[in-house]
């Protein structure tokens, strides 16, 4: 039977409660509980439904600074846009 799930990459997270004491299994592999889960590039935190965007903001600043360094001082604003 072909499954599209990869048990080694699968994690469990709870929102609004504590993690259950019992373990979950997928293809006889015990799934790990986590407090922070990445889904489509966004990090979700357990028990608070808080979305952590610090990683995305850091990547944005890094890319923006890279563009500014290529333009140099006195660069044309229209070129930057």
Please check the confidence at residue 1 and state whether its pLDDT lies above 70. Answer: no
| 3-class DSSP state of 64 | helix
Q: Which residues contact 64 (CB under 8 A, 6 or more apart)?
A: none
Token reading at 13? 């997270």
In the numeric block, the tokens 């930057």 are attached to 80
The domain ranges of the chain are 1-49, 54-81
Closest CA to 31 of 40, 22, 39, 43: 22
pLDDT tens for each residue of 9-32: 788 888 877 777 777 888 788 888
Supply angle C-alpha 70, 72, 75, rounded to 5.
Answer: 105
Q: What is the pLDDT of residue 76?
A: 67
pLDDT score, position 62: 92
pLDDT of residue 33: 83
> pLDDT tens for residues 39-73?
887 888 887 778 888 888 888 899 888 888 887 77
């Amino acid at each position: 039977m072909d499954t599209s799930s990869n048990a080694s990459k699968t994690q469990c997270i709870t929102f609004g409660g504590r993690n259950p004491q019992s373990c979950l299994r997928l293809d006889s592999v015990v799934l790990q509980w986590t407090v922070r889960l990445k889904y489509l590039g966004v990090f979700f935190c357990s028990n608070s439904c808080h979305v952590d965007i610090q990683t995305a903001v850091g990547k944005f600043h890094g890319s923006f600074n890279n563009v500014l360094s290529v333009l140099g001082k006195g660069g044309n604003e229209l070129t930057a846009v």
